[in-house]
Amino acid sequence: MSPTSEPARPTQLEVLARIASGLCRDARISRVELAPDDRWSFAPSTRTLRVGASTLATGSIEVCAGILAHEVGHAYLSRYHLLPRQLPGALAARWLNAIEDPRVEAWMAARYPGVGAWLDAAAWHASGTWTHQDLPALRTEQWCLGACIDAHPAGARILAGLASLVRRSLDATAEARRVYRDGFLPPAGLGAWVDAFPEVTDAYEAVHHRHALPVEIHDAEKVARILAVRAWEHACAHILPTVQALHAEDLAALASLVAGDEELKGRLWNAAGSRRTSLFAGVPSPEDALRAHRDGQRTAGVPDADDHDLAKVWYAAWQDGVHAQHAHPRLSATPAMQATSDVGEDGLGAVSAAAPRAARTAPPAALVGRLETALRQALRLERKQQGRGRAHQGVRADLRRVMVNDGVHARDPSRWHPAWQRATPTRHDAAFALLIDCSGSMRGERIEAAVRAAEVFAEALARVGAPFIVAGFQDELFILATQDATAEQARRGIADAAREVAGTRPGGRNQPQHNDDGPCLLTAAKVLRSLQARQRVLVVLSDGAPAGRRSDESDLVRAVQTLSAAGDIDLIGMGIGEGATHVARFYPRHVVVPAVAQLPEALVRVLAA
């Protein structure tokens, strides 16, 4: 090529990469790559922005740059993936993303004034691809779409097609969403982040205890997380309850479809009963079923309790699998925030989910000592060391031999010796199991309190020599510690409960969106019965009602009834937090611990009673 030749015209991807090199420099996004599935996302672990192939091919450079700017905003501000989600499974991320999108775009427009036109172009492009027939049938999906777009003129046509209930819900949350969008933003200038928060250390100390966030991070990252926590708490109080009400409406509509279609009901029973996720692949998605009903192709009936249960199972299976295929192009630009420790020098890059320390300190000695003393008394292990004959020293008389062979023994005293049997004093008067709810709603101070309580439990029982297990549960039960572990091994295993809640335990179950209380309670009872003991005690720590992958509240009711009828296990339910009154509905013997920090003390009182 000669020096005077015109340079080759850059491709759209190359132009976008050049824009990214400037726009993303502060956020340390170093790589832009093509995504064949047309899903735009940001991967913090590799600092990679994935660009949707279809949008790149059909949209203008301004549209693509707008979506890129949107993702950069998520990289700067979005931390909701670190916070507890007391919501139905995977949908928590979609609901939160719907209100987070306007927030990140507002900050990006203030930080980089030139990107406002690009963000507008992306919004017009997204709204222009929709027709009335494309609108979701599920009301929660409609709400998410409306929350993303209602503040922009491009959303007017979409909003007009939404269900009236959804429009009323958007109106009811409009002011709260405006506060969420504008009230929790850091300054536009990065250097002013920490200056605007002179109390950053104290403020972060408060939120990291509430939500189990890591301590050793850069001050600027602390600012991002402080604001994320405040925004989250505002959303929980003023926005998300409205979405949960729409979710209940969706479940009721699905239950009516189940009631009106015996074939569908049979397929759902088959899939749910076998607990095989693959069987749901042949069942219409809730979205498709509701669309068919809207078009007059499906009939509804009057649902009963079983229909409602099946609707929940159907919805849960869909949200865990097929759900992603129905994402709106703009909504699907959810940041692919992965659990990673990739925090750079500026503290503004990827963030990591809370992880327990590799080595934990010993539990409070006073609590352990109190529980140990109480257990020794209860288990009759404080044996007096005076005149109880040879039986106290580890032997006891075989009374049958004494009575039958009394004459023989009288003639030959040496024959008395076989009449004494060796009898090692048993230390297994009772065996104990502690079952910890490791669903996502336990995140923060609740799981930390449960971990500390479990450490006291394990340490005291190890001292008295009583057999025990500590287990966690999500959709399945997993063992965290047993009496065979060393003290340090037990503490590390118990601390893994926090990793399970965060979904980051290496090789763990990592299904915090589920809590199948009923089946896991029966599994725990089976494990406890394998321990040789005359008495068995099973304590369940939980902060909410079941919301399982394969079970619901009725399964827990039946499990408790089964164990109560058997009579060989003393079952105790402990509710964690002010709203944990659910234990009263399920466990005949129960305790509610409103002050989460008092859980270790409360557990000691329960076991010592």
pLDDT at 44 over 70: no
Q: Which domains does the chain have, with CATH numbers?
A: 12-129+174-238 (no CATH), 245-326 (no CATH), 365-377+427-608 (3.40.50.410)
Task: Please state which of the ranges 69-73, 516-520, 561-565 shows the lowest mean pLDDT.
Answer: 69-73
Q: What is the structure's pLDDT at 114?
A: 83
Rounded Cα–Cα distance for residues 6 and 2 (Å): 9
Highest mean pLDDT among 5-9, 201-205, 220-224, 506-510: 506-510
pLDDT at 240 over 90: no
Q: What is the structure's pLDDT at 179?
A: 94
Q: What is the structure's pLDDT at 451?
A: 92
Q: What is the structure's pLDDT at 436?
A: 96
Residue written as tokens 């509509």?
A: 253
pLDDT at 589 over 90: yes
Rounded Cα–Cα distance for residues 213 and 198 (Å): 20
Higher pLDDT, 3 or 545: 545
Rounded Cα–Cα distance for residues 523 and 281 (Å): 28
Contact call for residues 89 and 44 (beta carbons, < 8 A): no
Q: What is the structure's pLDDT at 22?
A: 67
Q: What is the structure's pLDDT at 252?
A: 92
Rounded Cα–Cα distance for residues 304 and 530 (Å): 39
Question: Residue range 392-398: average pLDDT?
Answer: 42
Backbone angles phi, psi at 477, to 5 degrees: -90, 145
pLDDT at 145 over 80: yes
Higher pLDDT, 589 or 112: 589
Residue 167 banded pLDDT, cuts 50, 70, 90: very high
pLDDT at 463 over 80: yes
Rounded Cα–Cα distance for residues 117 and 126 (Å): 14
Rounded Cα–Cα distance for residues 43 and 62 (Å): 22
Residue 560 banded pLDDT, cuts 50, 70, 90: very high
Q: What is the structure's pLDDT at 563?
A: 95
Percent of the chain with pLDDT over 70: 67
Contact call for residues 176 and 103 (beta carbons, < 8 A): no
pLDDT at 396 over 50: no
* Tens digits of residue pLDDT in 343-360: 222 222 222 223 333 445
Q: Give whole-number Cα distances, 393 to 9, 297, 390, 425, in Å.
A: 95, 81, 5, 9
Determine the length of the chain. 609
Report long-range pairs for 295-300 (Cβ below 8 Å, ≥24 apart).
Answer: 298/257, 298/260, 298/261, 299/260, 299/261, 300/253, 300/256, 300/257, 300/259, 300/260
Residue 175 banded pLDDT, cuts 50, 70, 90: very high
Report H helices in 442-552: 445-464, 487-502, 517-529
* Tens digits of residue pLDDT in 295-326: 788 888 888 887 888 888 888 777 655 333 33
For the sheet with 590-593, list strands across it: 477-482, 468-473, 430-437, 535-542, 570-576, 590-593
**In terms of Cα–Cα distance, which of 21, 25, 18 is closest to 348?**
25
- The sign of the torsion formed by the CA atoms of 339, 345, 346, 347 equals positive
Task: Please state which of the ranges 6-15, 55-64, 253-262, 461-470 shows the lowest mean pLDDT.
Answer: 6-15
Q: What is the structure's pLDDT at 537?
A: 94
Q: What is the structure's pLDDT at 254?
A: 92
Higher pLDDT, 282 or 186: 186
Rounded Cα–Cα distance for residues 152 and 330 (Å): 13
Q: What is the structure's pLDDT at 170?
A: 93
pTM (2 d.p.): 0.52
Q: Which residues contact 384 (CB under 8 A, 6 or more apart)?
A: none
Q: What is the structure's pLDDT at 125?
A: 78
Q: What is the structure's pLDDT at 404?
A: 43
Highest mean pLDDT among 40-44, 357-361, 400-404, 485-489: 485-489
pLDDT at 385 over 50: no
Rounded Cα–Cα distance for residues 342 and 348 (Å): 10
Higher pLDDT, 279 or 422: 279
* Tens digits of residue pLDDT in 521-552: 999 999 999 888 888 999 999 998 898 888 99
* Tens digits of residue pLDDT in 19-32: 766 666 666 666 66
Contact call for residues 110 and 188 (beta carbons, < 8 A): yes
* Tens digits of residue pLDDT in 487-509: 888 888 999 999 899 888 877 88
Task: Please state which of the ranges 376-390, 520-534, 584-598 shows the lowest mean pLDDT.
Answer: 376-390
Higher pLDDT, 76 or 451: 451
Kindly state the greatest CA–CA separation across the chain: 127
